[in-house]
Amino acid sequence: MLVTHTKQELAERIAEWRQLGDHVALVPTMGGLHAGHLSLVELAREHAERVVVSVFVNPTQFAEGEDFDEYPRALERDKLRLKKSAADMIFAPDVETIYPFGPDKATTVSVPGLTENFCGATRPGHFDGVTTVVARLFAIVQPDVAVFGQKDYQQQLVIRRMTEDLSLPVSIITGETVRADDGLALSSRNGYLSDEEREVAPVLYQTLCFVGQELQSGRRNFAELEAMAVERLIAAGFEVDYFAIRRALDLETPDRDCDDLVVLTAARLGSARLIDNIVVSI
């Protein structure tokens, strides 16, 4: 598996693959790789003969005061993990490679509407940073396919919208959330949890499942269910950013007949901000 930090080496290797008629999949990551990322790599491999994993902690998607400095950076460990996976190449650029004019002077890609609520409301500028870096990675790697995790449900919708709106020739694939045995969604940020917080953290998924079951059994009083869920989370020790039942397609408020719902939440436990969601198809 090749590890490169430069656009040139990346382009040369991809040109060789293209000559052989191979398709290329990209799995964008910020490193701190866990089993969830590895499952995205395996999924990518089902859609293309070659898989590139980018590892780049993107400064433009962190608001001031967020965890950019603390975010786990462990390229050597990431390399070891990927060695045993289906990845063909790691692309680990530095900030100048991605933002030649500097992050503050970067041409920005912004998706209105979908980015205004939920994580967009509590993390101002976050999605502009995500779409800006993903558009750059698409331009550099020129993949046929790119794979994102369902755990970041709003993010994958925003990226799908950007790709469609700009007619980018990349198919977006969403991979299922991978969970610990107790249900906690795997995340690079779980490492911020203390032992006691780690014990409490699965309540987030349990609460999503409770609401999912209520929806499946025909309950349609969405606001009441959301309020009940928030109460449960607060009682367990979370500080809730949002807990919402929305249309899976576009995160709009669903009417009572909507059959494809997503229940999504973000909540803080100590210094960790955890996000999770479940899709409920009735």
Q: Which residue lies nearer to ligand PAF by CB, 138 or 238?
A: 138
Min. distance of Cβ 263 from ligand PAF in angstroms? 20
Sign of torsion, CA 197 198 204 210? negative
Show the tokens assigned to 149: 């995790």
Which residues in this chain contact ligand PAF in the complex, by CB under 6 A? 28-30, 58, 61, 130, 133-134, 152, 155
Which residues are marked as active site? 37
Helix residue spans in 173-262 (DSSP H): 195-200, 203-216, 222-236
Helix axes 35-47, 75-83, angle to 10 degrees: 50
Contact of 151 with 276, CB cutoff 8 Å: yes
Picking from 49, 51, 50, 67, the residue whose alpha carbon sits closest to that of residue 59 is: 67
Closest separation in Å from C-beta 75 to ligand PAF:
15
The CB-of-220 to ligand PAF minimum distance in angstroms stands at: 32
Closest approach of ligand PAF to the CB of residue 133, in Å: 5
**Between 24 and 30, whose beta carbon lies closer to ligand PAF?**
30
Closest approach of ligand PAF to the CB of residue 277, in Å: 14
Q: What's the DSSP call for residue 202?
A: T
Q: Which is nearer to ligand PAF, 133 or 170 (CB)?
A: 133
What is the distance between the alpha carbons of residues 249 and 247, in angstroms, rounded to a whole number?
Answer: 5
Residue 38: CA count within 13 A, CB half-sphere:
13
Is the separation of the CB atoms in 23 and 144 below 8 Å? Answer: yes
What's CA 236's distance to the chain center, in Å?
A: 25
- Looking at the Cβ atoms of 45 and 136, the one nearer to ligand PAF is 136
- Would you say 4 or 206 has its CB closer to ligand PAF? 4
What sign for the dihedral angle of Cα 59, 64, 68, 69? positive
From the number of C-beta atoms within 10 Å of its C-beta (0-12, 13-18, 19+), residue 72 rates as middle
